[in-house]
Amino acid sequence: MLAMDFCGLHFNTPQVLLSGCVGFGEEYTRVKGFSNTDVGAVCLKGTTLAERLGNEPHRLAETPMGLLNAIGLQNPGSARVVAEYLPKLDFSETRFIANLSGSTVEEYAEVTRIFDDSPIDAMEINISCPNVKEGGVAFGNDPDMSARVVEACRTQTRKPLIAKLSPNQTDIANNARRCIEAGSDALAVINTVMGMAIDPEQRQPVIGNNQAGLSGPAIKPIALLKVHQVYQVAGPLNIPIIGQGGVTRPEDALEFIIAGASAVGVGTALFYDPLVCSRINSVMVDYLKRHNMTHVNELVGSLQLHEPATSVCAN
């Protein structure tokens, strides 16, 4: 009922653990009862060509129903990830997806080449990281640059490529179209929303990097709309979407699938409940049975919009 094909990869379930929330794939297995087999895939932490130490503390701040983070892409560099981290992963449990980052188009291509020559199952192109000075969201908010990055990665691999789109741009559907034309096999929608927290006593930002990316339930309505918008472009082309942003309760996962996501990402919710994925699976199965469906695919994009209103004002 939940097992599925995603770009030719076998996913145990439609859930994906999100980049930056689960280290390099093994960290959450510390928790008794947690299992990577509950999810279809695990996205590893954003990886650049050379090692990055990341930002100074504080890197985290809690906000109402949200979490601000500015880690600054701390990672040991792609060569070490391939040599030291991938051999520790149990590929019989789930699919593992690398998350690629860079400050130049050439760096993205080089990181892709390094992961192509590794057992990794697929690669997610992070053109939407808000927490680094160069590349990241600066590329992701410019459709031309997004397309150039995807094209450059495409020349280096035949493994599935997933462009991860930023919500911090005006026309996400157009950007999605450009990424698909440039060779992206799937899309991840959305990365974090840029934000800030201020300590009024110190008159300083709480986060060492000053600005940060917001995740968690606070961004879910934004994410749902973006998935719906991207699905209008990607659905007809059979390009699957990993919907994400604030999934916390099992119902949230269903909402993303109805909006058009083939798979659903879980990140920040793990911090509250490390065992949330097995709960989401069982509620999904119940839901499908209740609605006389035999497979989760039947639910994808099944949203029934209201008739268009005569008013053009959203208020």
Ligand X SMILES: Cc1cc2nc3c(=O)[nH]c(=O)nc-3n(C[C@H](O)[C@H](O)[C@H](O)COP(=O)(O)O)c2cc1C
Residues labelled as active-site residues? 129
Least distance from another protein to the Cβ atom of residue 278, Å: 12
Which is closer to another protein, CB of 90 or CB of 171? 90
Position 52 contacts ligand X (CB under 6 A): no
- Distance CA(7)–CA(33), nearest Å, equals 29
279, amino acid identity:
R
Single out the residue of 1, 9, 74, 142 in contact with another protein (rule: CB under 8 A). 74
Among 232, 153, 227, smallest CA distance to 187 is for 227
DSSP state at residue 217: G
Position 168 contacts ligand X (CB under 6 A): no
Least distance from another protein to the Cβ atom of residue 260, Å: 26
- Distance CA(114)–CA(127), nearest Å, equals 18
Position 243 contacts ligand X (CB under 6 A): no
Q: Quote the tokens at residue 29.
A: 């297995």
C-alpha dist (Å) from residue 258 to 52, 187, 263, 264, 299: 38, 16, 11, 11, 6
Piece of 155-163, 243-251, 275-283, 303-311 that binds ligand X (CB under 6 A): 243-251
Q: Which of another protein, ligand X, none does residue 62 bind (CB under 5 to 8 Å by kind)? A: another protein
C-alpha dist (Å) from residue 133 to 73, 111, 129, 185, 211: 11, 18, 10, 27, 11
User: Strand pairing partners for 164?
Assistant: 126, 188
92, amino acid identity:
S
Site map 1..30 versus ligand X, x via CB under 6 A: -----------------xxxx---------
Q: Among positive and negative, which fits the CA dihedral 87, 89, 93, 98?
A: negative
Site residues for another protein, 150-209, by CB under 8 A, read 157-159
Q: Which of another protein, ligand X, none does residue 266 bind (CB under 5 to 8 Å by kind)? A: ligand X
Q: Which of another protein, ligand X, none does residue 19 bind (CB under 5 to 8 Å by kind)? A: ligand X
Contact set with another protein (CB under 8 A): 20-23, 26-33, 45, 53-54, 56-62, 65-67, 69, 71, 74, 87-93, 116-119, 157-159, 216-217, 268, 270-272, 274-275
